[in-house]
Structure 1
Amino acid sequence: MADNDTSDRSGAEGGTPKETASGIPYAGVATTDDVVAAVKNVSSQIHDFAGVPGKASEPRPGVGECQDRDPDTYFQVYHPWNFMPSSGADNETAMANFKEKLSGGGWVLKDSYIDNSPNKNLNLVADNDSKNVSVWIVGYSKRATPSIGIEVVSACYQIPEGQTVDHY
């Protein structure tokens, strides 16, 4: 959801900024239920990207505040979950598959790096502007039980007039 466009971002129609001061894009008006469903859909697609058998954790998406925005009017949806390939060797295969899949089909791989942890984990960060989401994936390949941490985060949305944001 990062944008390299250097044009004026002071506002859009109706004076609503296109992104927060922290750079999180504004995606428009939607209900929390609609955005939660969309983020779950993206998480499901990312699960398919792994391309190896395994088990995903079952946490529900959460609804949080948009930085620099009124928390009663604006929100973001986040969905952190873990994927445990059936075999430890499949962790590396899944990470390679994620890297390939997040480089096309509407996805833009923004960053791929090895972190500073003792295990030197591979991190992938990608955006899909048409779906108004970002994903951060960390391959914990050198743990006793290899796994992959995944967090899908939506852009910032405004709740429809007359409704309230249900933060959870």
Structure 2
Amino acid sequence: MNIRPSALALAAAVLLVTLTGCSMTEGNSDSVPFSGTSTSSDAADATERVSSGIYDLIGVKGRASESYSTVMGCSGKDTGKYFQILHPWSFYPASASDLDVAMERLKEELPKRGWKIVDYGPDTSKNKNIRMTADNDEKKVSTRIIKMSKNDPPKLSLDVVSGCYKIPDGQEIERF
């Protein structure tokens, strides 16, 4: 699939507004939390480990899509010094009936692992997909999970986004 950079930038902006205005920060709920100083490669590895942890909680047979993290700018900050990581992926259960089980397990298990569910319910699409947004203040990450029962094949669509990192002095942000 060929995605134009402008479409990816628009999708990233919409995702940031959706995910990062939640409760990941103390005080100002409109700002993205500071995740510390890191290279973009190390930050991507950390974000992908969080995704793997979410995958482990699903608890039903299925497969995850092949996906890669991407580097985004932090809203209102110097794009040469600050960045966030987005890791989008999908989960396809072996059986369509397991989709509900997978979503319920995530709803139950995420809070037991330090996540706070900040939004849950149907979206405004004609399919009324179930959306869940959860924040992990300790890890400075947020996830949005969408149960897409009417897709062919049915799937969970997951986006994991980090807080805002600062690149170490003397280094440059790798864009991928």
Matches within 5 A, 1:111-130: 111-130=119-138
How does the TM-score come out when normalised to structure 1?
Answer: 0.87
Give 3-state SS (helix, strand or coil) of 2:53's partner.
helix
Give 3-state SS (helix, strand or coil) of 1:43's partner.
helix
Q: Which amino acid aligns with 1:72?
A: G
Matches within 5 A, 1:2-17: 2-3=23-24, 5-6=26-27
| 2:89 maps to 1:81 | yes
Counterparts of 2:113 and 2:64 in 1: how far apart (Å)? Answer: 23
Flag structure 2 segments of 5+ consecutive residues without an equivalent: 1-21
How does the TM-score come out when normalised to structure 2?
Answer: 0.83
- 1:163 shift after superposition: 0.3
Give 3-state SS (helix, strand or coil) of 2:111's partner.
coil
Q: Give 2:55's aligned residue.
A: 47
Counterparts of 2:107 and 2:169 in 1: how far apart (Å)? Answer: 39
| 2:172 maps to 1:151 | no
Counterparts of 1:3 and 1:57 in 2: how far apart (Å)? Answer: 27
* Alpha carbons 1:136, 1:150 under 8 Å: kept: yes
Counterparts of 1:156 and 1:69 in 2: how far apart (Å)? Answer: 9
Q: CA RMSD in A?
A: 1.6
- 1:145 shift after superposition: 1.5
Number of equivalent positions: 155
**In the superposition, relative to structure 1, how do residues 64 and 5 fare at CA in structure 2: closer, same or farther (>3 Å)?**
closer
Counterparts of 1:59 and 1:157 in 2: how far apart (Å)? Answer: 21
* Alpha carbons 2:24, 2:141 under 8 Å: kept: no
- Percent of aligned pairs sharing the same letter: 40
Between structures 1 and 2, the one with greater helix share: 2
| 2:86 maps to 1:65 | no
Give 3-state SS (helix, strand or coil) of 2:112's partner.
coil
CA radius of gyration, larger in: 1
Displaced runs of 4 or more, over 2 A: 3-6
Matches within 5 A, 1:80-119: 80-119=88-127
* Alpha carbons 2:24, 2:136 under 8 Å: kept: no
* Alpha carbons 1:84, 1:147 under 8 Å: kept: yes
Counterparts of 1:166 and 1:103 in 2: how far apart (Å)? Answer: 33
* Alpha carbons 2:34, 2:164 under 8 Å: kept: yes
